Amino acid sequence: MISYAEITAAVMLVALIVYALTGGADFGGGLWHLLAAGPRAKQQRLLIDSAIAPIWEANHVWLVLIVVLLFVCFPHAFSAASIALHIPLTILLIGIVFRGAGFAFRQYAATRTMRREWSRAFAAASVVTPVFLGVCLGAITDDRVVVRDGISVYGFVTPWLHAFALAVGALALALFALTAAVYLANEAGDAAVANDFRIRAITSGVAVTVAAFSGIALAPDRFRSALLHSLWSWPLQIVTGMVALALFAALLARRFAVARLLVIVQTALILFGWALAQYPLIIAPDLTIDAAAAPARVVRLTLVELLIGSVVLAPSFFYLFRVFKGRSETAD
């Protein structure tokens, strides 16, 4: 029987996937802003700006929603992660501040120097933040986030500074870079700019593959065997692999709208696979979704509230994307 807590965890997974696909791509945009090069560097940057500007704040709220759900419905997990992962979470926060503020400031900057400096801050933060997001996710998958009586058993560094967490950090960065490049190729009006991002997408696709395989190699045994030897493993692996190959094919064939769909599916599958292998844990090695949960009544009420809230939210979010993204294929 599926518990309310598990339903809430599933909702959080969906929110995480949406965040990776929207907010994550905004970070990827920041990375490409930093790496804009060649004769069309300026056009690349302009495209990134216009793609991100209207939507990044709304995209960012998915993360806030995840954090809030975590502390309302899984207070023990939130508390444990806050203690053991204090350092990477703080770095993550600093990254979020500079990314958001940097982007807003560079748009409205008064002087050229200020514009340049805040552009740098925006771009650098867009690289740092996803890495630490991945590190935190990697850390709760590994077995060293253990808090007993308010004390972190492995201290404040060991829980997250290890090869596996860093591999997940690299994977997050590569994945965000990939989604951003695919979206940008799709949105570019100019064929040459689209091609720039096509090449970037292919490169980051290779990086995603490398990071994903090193992640699996470095993963703790429990997680790896769940990922590779469960009932669902083979179907999921095969579908993910096929989607990845189809994505490369679509990029080579310049079918950007198809590529966008495929990159969305691929990102969702990667996170979905992670969640399946992690289940029933919320924080490895021993904090399960049910054990970390708030009293059932609170979780139930939150679910009702989520249901009502999404009635307002889903159409609004859809409308936002229709206004700013819907017409781009035909209008440009």
CB 263, CB 247: distance < 8 Å: yes
Cα gap 270→209, rounded to integer Å: 11
CB 290, CB 1: distance < 8 Å: no
Cα gap 259→250, rounded to integer Å: 5
Angle of CA points 28, 34, 40, to nearest 5°: 100
303 touches other proteins by CB under 8 A: no
Which two structure tokens, joined as six digits, stand for 200?
């970037």
Which two structure tokens, joined as six digits, stand for 28?
């990827």
Closest contact distance (angstroms) between CB of 180 and other proteins is 18
Mask 123-162, x = binds other proteins (CB under 8 A)? Answer: ---------------------------xxx---x------
Among 14, 34, 94, 258, binds other proteins (CB under 8 A): 94
Determine the interface stretch with other proteins among 48-56, 171-179, 211-219, 260-268 (rule: CB under 8 A). Answer: 48-56
Closest contact distance (angstroms) between CB of 62 and other proteins is 8
Closer Cβ to other proteins, 86 or 162, answer by number: 86
298 touches other proteins by CB under 8 A: yes
Determine the interface stretch with other proteins among 20-28, 165-173, 207-215, 298-306 (rule: CB under 8 A). Answer: 298-306
**Which letter, b or e, does each residue of 183-193 get, where b requires 16 or more Cβ atoms within 10 Å of its Cβ?**
bbbbbbeeeeb
- Site residue total, other proteins (CB under 8 A): 67
Mask 250-289, x = binds other proteins (CB under 8 A)? Answer: ----------------------------------------
Query: Does residue 136 come out as left (phi exceeding 0), alpha (psi in the -120 to 50 range) or beta?
Result: alpha
Q: Is 329 helix (H, G, I), strand (E, B) or coil?
A: helix
Determine the interface stretch with other proteins among 71-79, 184-192, 194-202, 233-241 (rule: CB under 8 A). Answer: 71-79
CB atoms inside a 10 Å sphere around CB 171: 27
Cα gap 44→212, rounded to integer Å: 28
63 touches other proteins by CB under 8 A: yes
Which two structure tokens, joined as six digits, stand for 76?
């023990």
314 touches other proteins by CB under 8 A: no
Cα gap 97→122, rounded to integer Å: 9
Among 124, 161, 202, 320, binds other proteins (CB under 8 A): 320
Among 90, 157, 245, 280, binds other proteins (CB under 8 A): 90
CB atoms inside a 10 Å sphere around CB 117: 15
Cα gap 34→123, rounded to integer Å: 5
Q: Which residues contact other proteins (rule: CB under 8 A)?
A: 53-55, 57-58, 60-61, 63-65, 67-69, 71-73, 75-76, 78-83, 86, 89-90, 92-94, 96-101, 103-105, 107-111, 114, 118, 150-152, 156, 294-295, 297-298, 301-302, 305-306, 309, 312-313, 316-317, 319-320, 323-324
